[in-house]
Homo-oligomer: A and B are copies of this chain.
C-alpha cells in the first residue's frame, strides 16, 4: 500500500522541530494529538482551516519528525512521535506541549 515518507529520528533536526512549533495551527495539531494519546484521522483534527492549509501544516510537522501519518484504508491516521523525539531531545517536546496547553 502507498505510504507517506517520514524522516528517521536520526535525520530529525532541532531547528526543524522549533520551526514546526512556531505556528499556532501546528501547535494546536500537536496539542490535539498529545491530548488524544492515540492516532487521529484528519477529520478528528478539525480546526476550521482550509484543507490545503492543513495539508501544508501536516507536511511541515511530518518533515520535522513530529508527526507520523499512516494510510489505513481510506483514512490518514496521524500520531505524535513523542517518544522518539523525547529520546533524541529530552524534555523539549513535553515542555512545549505543557507551555502551549497553559497559554
Contact = CB atoms under 8 A, between A and B. Distances in A.
Interface of A: 13-16, 18-19, 21-24, 27, 88-92, 94-96, 98-100, 103
Contacts of A95: 89-92, 94-95
B23 A96 contact: no
Main secondary structure on A side of the interface with B: helix
Contacts of A14: 27, 96, 99-100, 103
Contact of A90 (B13, B19, B98, B100): B98
Nearest to A102: B89
A24 to B, nearest CB: 6
A100 to B, nearest CB: 6
